[in-house]
Amino acid sequence: MESQLRELGEKIVKHKYDFARKIDETKKKHGEHTSPLTDEVLEIRGELFTFFGEALYQDLEDVERRFIAWGHKYGELAVQFEIPLDMALKSTRYYRVVLWDFIRNEIDNENFSVQTVLKAASIIDPLLDETVHAFSLAYVEKNNRVLGLAREAIEELSVPVVRLTRSVAVLPLVGTIDTHRSKLIMETSLEKCTELQVEHLFIDLSGVPVIDTMVAHNLFKVINSLKLLGVKVTLSGMRPELAQTVVSLGISFEEISISGNLYQELEAMGIAPQPN
């Protein structure tokens, strides 16, 4: 049986590119759309079919490591090329289909015994499952890293402390302020005001749709923390509907500097940009 396994494995390696092309043929039979087969994709598929063949006559542990490395490498590559995970995983089943079509044909031609085929199945199927698992893990990990970097970039843009003069800056807030963003506002405003040596910070609320008790409480924490650093804080852009909400909630801003219009306040300070 060992000699037959080697012979079967060597045949798989020999016809690896034929199998790689047959994947697209099989997809079409199942009504799936296929893109033009590039040399790069042909090599990627051929490499995996090579591993399948070698698994039948080489050290299994060593081959398994190659399968896992292949899955990891191309799981990350799928994220890079923005291939949906479900689509990528769906394609893996065609490797199994193509291989077993070939092996079934070999049985029909009486080239290999049933025992050899069963042994090949016990080797190949778990390896493909292991590859899919490695591919999925790598895909998810890479995708999470990409999403994490994107979120960091968005968060950085969502709390922009903009310097107006040597000692005056503005923090324009846009959108809903939740607990996570409140913490981010706290950390960023303290860090930036210290870095830029800001003495007076305007927190502009023109783009904030809702102020509730949680938002107000978090704003108080930011303002009090900045005061400890010697930074004067002025809230600006308090629209009438926001002011009404604040009053109805019984929230007091008595000890906080408030300006209805940021531009007018900056103009009074002599630092507003002049219209053309």
**Which CATH number goes with the domain that contains 193?**
3.30.750.24
Answer whether residue 57 is part of any domain.
yes
Position 273 scores a pLDDT of: 59
Task: Say if residue 184 is exposed, middle or buried (CB neighbours under 10 Å; 0-12, 13-18, 19+).
Answer: middle
Position 18 scores a pLDDT of: 92
Q: What is the mean pLDDT of each run of 10 residues along the chain (276 residues)?
A: 84 91 86 82 89 88 88 84 78 84 79 80 87 87 74 57 86 78 80 89 83 75 86 82 71 70 71 60
My answer on whether 118 and 222 are in the same domain is no
Give dist(CA 157, CA 207) in Å, integer. Answer: 14
My answer on whether 145 and 198 are in the same domain is no
Answer whether residue 274 is part of any domain.
no
Q: pTM of whole model > 0.75? A: no
Position 30 scores a pLDDT of: 79
Residue where a domain terminates, one of 156, 178, 197: 156
How many domains are there within the chain?
2
Residue where a domain terminates, one of 99, 122, 156: 156
Answer whether residue 208 is part of any domain.
yes
Q: Which domain holds residue 196?
A: 162-268
